[in-house]
Structure 1
Amino acid sequence: MRVCIVLEHRFVHTPDGATYDNGQATYAHFRRYLGTFEEVQVVARSQPVARPRPGDRRVDGPGVQVAHMPYYEGPGGLLRRLGPVLGRLRAVLAPEDAVIVRLGGVLGHLAAGLRTVQGRRYAVEVVNDPFLGFAPGPGRRGHLRPLFRVLMTALTWGQVRGAAAVQYVTREALQRRYPPGAGVPAFGVSDVHLPPEAFAAGPRTFQEPALRAVLVGALEQPHKGVDVALEALAAVRGAGLDARLTVVGEGGLLPGLKAQARALGVADACTFAGQRSTPAEVRRDLAAADLYLMPSRTEGLPRALLEGMAQALPALGSDVGGIPELLSPDALVPPGDAGALARLWHSRAPDPAWLTAQSERNLAHARSYADDVLDRERGRFLRVVRERAAR
């Protein structure tokens, strides 16, 4: 049986049809579905390019193919190409396929709606919360944003209720807002990839303040709160702590964030490292840091934070989405509150006892998300998807 995974992602592909990604949606991620299904078809937007970008890795490979959807950007772009997008979805989703849609993503919503109209089953992976993603805040302008917030939240709720099986990346947070239908099998399994090499040999013992902070995330949307981290960095340094920040990632927000760092007077204390080519390179950034920052405005369950915890990093984060499932209450601040983050940063970074205890705690907690642990639970979900698709 073939499984089709419909996701809100933007790949690139070369003239020979090979598909690439510079994030985590690569072949190593999708081949995990081959333990249950004979074939995997990834359904997502893809843009033609002459050659792969630096750091790109293959998405397709043995047993995994990619169905390239018409490329668009933003709601306006989708409306202009809605006909071709729907036509392509009808063409690539065969009636006998098992279909998993990732919500809330627009392509996932369209695919779930199409399967419903056709009287076919679908399963859902809930990876984020549109209620938080479309919430008001800095960099989130547009008269239609409140409408999108209501629409996408309602769609996610309804389509989760109508799914044949549901998997959440959180253990509690997304389940509360988007509960499954009565009698529907539901699973809470992160989509993080933590092989044995992702873990530090043991916890860290701190004797000095944690001066080197790190933040990893895409810089396409303000969701990761990098601007909040920069404001907090300026406040912390102004209060006398010689803190420094490394931001790993790239995207359209990068020029504005660099300008913000200059305006705040912290350009010399902030390194924008760009996109790393391999997970091993990211792990080197994590190993070189003393403290992980996760000041997100919205999250499902942040994979990058788990990767930092696996490297035995103490961490500070916002009290939003699945972050409270990962960090202790004394490591949390309200989302978007740079002042609160600065105060917590300034009090925790010079405290070796707290840092050492958090390093041990975070590493132990991350081990419960190791591949060998999560793969067993993922396998249960996928077996249910296969069984219900065959009915």
Structure 2
Amino acid sequence: MRVSVVLEQRFIHTPDGSTYDNGHATYDHWRRYLSVFEEVQVVGRSQAVTEVPAGFRRVDGPGVRFLPVPYYQGPLGLLRRLTGVSAALWRGLEPGEAVIVRLSGVLVHLAAALRWFRGHPFAAEVINDPYLGYGPDGTRHPLRPLFRTLLTELTRLHCRQAVAVQYVTREALQRRYPPAAGVASFGVSDVHLPPEAFADAPRVYQGRARHTVLVGSLEQRHKGVDLAVRALAVLRAAGHDLRLKVVGDGPLRPGLEALAQELGVAQACEFAGQRSTPAEVRRDLAGAELFLIPSRTEGLPRALLEAMAQGLPAVGSAVGGIPELLLPDTLAPPGDVDELVRAWGALASNPAQLSAHSGRNLALARTYADATLDEQRAGFLRSVRAHSRPQSPFPPARTS
């Protein structure tokens, strides 16, 4: 049986049809689904390119194909191409296959609605929270309040309609978007932590943690990089010799670099750009002394777990699944620069606490290792398959 996975991610493809992504939606991620299904079809928007930019990795491969949906940007772009997008989903998602929608996002909600309209089952993976993502500190789109209400309610609806639901958190997303009564529910992170992702031992700190790293996309304001830059300026003005390295890229980068210049911390704030492989990101993590994740919205952040696997102490915002990973004294309310300054400065200045958090974070990250989570992920996929049996084109024979 084939499983099709619909997601909001934007992809690129070359003239030969090969598809690429600059995030986590690459072949290594999708081949996990082959433990239960014979074929995986990834469904998303894709834009044609002649050259593959640095930092992009292949999506398709043995057992994994890609179904391109006509490319668009934003709600108005979708409206202009709604007929073509709907037709691609209608033709590409076959009645007898398994379908998983990765919530939330406009394309995936459209796919879920089409499946429901046709009377065909679908399952859901909940990877983020639109209520927070479209909150006052999230996107600045003029229709933000409408999107917040609409996408939050659609996520709740489609979780209730799904035949199985997997959440990347263990508790946080389940509270806001519960499944229907009696529906199989799973709380399993989608992080990829093979054995080489782990440090051999916790770190032992003899002095302050001066070198902090933040890993995240600069596509939207969700990762709170602007908050990190402002907090860095306050801490350095107070005499803390701290440096920040931002790993990631996107359209917000020029504005963030200008902000660092404006606040006088450009020399202490490095924008390293996109990395091409997980090994390159691990080198950035290994070279840092503390990890920062001041997100405005999150599911369960993979980058934080990857940092913890390297034995990094971490400071983050109390949002989404982050409180499931970090202790209260290392958390700040989302969007609160003053509290971020407090938590960052306190931990970075305390070698004993840094060492203790390193050991604690490494031990917790080991509970998210691939070898531990793969069986739980397979349980979700087996449930999806069991509720997605191919349908016979003939009605059952009547019995007298």
Identity, % of aligned positions: 65
Does 2:316 align with 1:326?
no
Question: Which residue number in structure 2 is paired with residue 60 of structure 1?
Answer: 60
Question: Which residue number in structure 1 is paired with residue 177 of structure 2?
Answer: 178
Does 2:41 align with 1:41?
yes
User: After superposition, what is the alpha-carbon deviation per residue over 1:81-104, rounded to whole angstroms, capped at 9, x for unaligned?
Assistant: 111100110010000110000001
Secondary structure of the 1:347 match is helix
Runs of 4+ in 1 over 2 A off after TM superposition: 140-143
Amino acid at match of 1:62: P
Larger deviation, residues 354-363 vs 55-64: 55-64
Question: Which residue number in structure 1 is paired with residue 113 of structure 2?
Answer: 113
Does 2:348 align with 1:346?
no
Does 2:113 align with 1:96?
no
Deviation at 1:34, TM superposition (A): 0.4
Q: Is the 8 A contact 2:299 2:320 kept in 1?
A: yes
Deviation at 1:269, TM superposition (A): 0.2
Amino acid at match of 1:375: D
Does 2:228 align with 1:257?
no
Does 2:369 align with 1:370?
yes
Deviation at 1:329, TM superposition (A): 1.0
Alignment of 1:66-77 (within 5 A): 66-77=66-77
Deviation at 1:347, TM superposition (A): 1.6
Amino acid at match of 1:268: Q
User: After superposition, what is the alpha-carbon deviation per residue over 1:332-352, rounded to whole angstroms, capped at 9, x for unaligned?
Assistant: 000011111112212211101
Question: Which residue number in structure 2 is paired with residue 384 of structure 1?
Answer: 383
Q: Give the distance between the partners of 1:340 and 1:70, measured in 2 at CA.
A: 43
Question: Which residue number in structure 2 is paired with residue 266 of structure 1?
Answer: 265
Question: Which residue number in structure 1 is paired with residue 211 of structure 2?
Answer: 212
TM-score by length of 2: 0.96
Alignment of 1:159-178 (within 5 A): 159-178=158-177
TM-score by length of 1: 0.99
Q: Give the distance between the partners of 2:137 and 2:335, measured in 1 at CA.
A: 8
Amino acid at match of 1:25: A
Q: Give the distance between the partners of 2:262 and 2:291, measured in 1 at CA.
A: 24
Secondary structure of the 2:372 match is helix
User: After superposition, what is the alpha-carbon deviation per residue over 1:191-230, rounded to whole angstroms, capped at 9, x for unaligned?
Assistant: 1000000000010000010000000000000000000000
Q: Give the distance between the partners of 1:102 and 1:202, measured in 2 at CA.
A: 35
Q: Is the 8 A contact 2:330 2:344 kept in 1?
A: no
Q: Give the distance between the partners of 2:104 and 2:175, measured in 1 at CA.
A: 15
Question: Which residue number in structure 2 is paired with residue 144 of structure 1?
Answer: 143
Deviation at 1:379, TM superposition (A): 0.3
Does 2:24 align with 1:16?
no
Q: Give the distance between the partners of 1:374 and 1:338, measured in 2 at CA.
A: 35
Deviation at 1:142, TM superposition (A): 3.4
User: After superposition, what is the alpha-carbon deviation per residue over 1:238-284, rounded to whole angstroms, capped at 9, x for unaligned?
Assistant: 11110000000000000000000000000000110000111001000
Q: Count matched residues.
A: 390
Deviation at 1:137, TM superposition (A): 2.2
Amino acid at match of 1:171: R
Secondary structure of the 1:389 match is coil
Deviation at 1:24, TM superposition (A): 1.2
User: After superposition, what is the alpha-carbon deviation per residue over 1:334-386, rounded to whole angstroms, capped at 9, x for unaligned?
Assistant: 00111111122122111011000000000000001100111010000000100
Deviation at 1:57, TM superposition (A): 1.3
Question: Which residue number in structure 2 is paired with residue 126 of structure 1?
Answer: 126
Deviation at 1:146, TM superposition (A): 0.5
Unaligned stretches of 5+ residues in structure 2:
391-400
Secondary structure of the 2:42 match is strand
Deviation at 1:55, TM superposition (A): 2.3
Secondary structure of the 1:179 match is coil
Deviation at 1:143, TM superposition (A): 3.1
Q: Give the distance between the partners of 1:90 and 1:358, measured in 2 at CA.
A: 50
Question: Which residue number in structure 2 is paired with residue 155 of structure 1?
Answer: 154
Unaligned stretches of 5+ residues in structure 1:
none
Question: Which residue number in structure 1 is paired with residue 297 of structure 2?
Answer: 298
Q: Give the distance between the partners of 1:5 and 1:129, measured in 2 at CA.
A: 19
Question: Which residue number in structure 1 is paired with residue 189 of structure 2?
Answer: 190
Q: Give the distance between the partners of 2:140 and 2:9, measured in 1 at CA.
A: 22
Amino acid at match of 1:313: L
Q: Give the distance between the partners of 1:14 and 1:147, measured in 2 at CA.
A: 36
Q: Give the distance between the partners of 1:316 and 1:342, measured in 2 at CA.
A: 10
